[in-house]
Amino acid sequence: MKLKAIIHKADEGGFWAEVPALPGCVTQAENLPELHSNIKVAIEGWLSVDDDQREMHAGDQVIEVAV
């Protein structure tokens, strides 16, 4: 899977990044190599969130989709 991340310079120094395809998936770092590592960790964390807490109704289905 490939996702695009937008890297921003932080006003206070360093950088921060967001992944538009994953709402709320953001991270920060002091330098770009660290930011690249942090982006991967943030994406993995975002994707690993357990959806079991969502309310299910009769007839609802859960499927897994590989992209």
Using one digit for the tens of pLDDT, what is the confidence trace for 6-37?
A: 999 999 999 999 999 999 999 999 999 999 99
Query: Does the pLDDT value for residue 51 go beyond 70?
Result: no
pLDDT of residue 56: 79
Q: How far apart are CA 61 and CA 56, in angstroms?
A: 8
pLDDT of residue 67: 64
pLDDT of residue 63: 74
Quick check: 38 and 25 in contact, CB under 8 A?
no
Cβ count near 39 (within 10 Å): 20
State if pTM tops 0.85.
no
Average pLDDT, the chain: 89
- Cα 21 to Cα 3, 6, 37: the distances in Å are 7, 11, 18
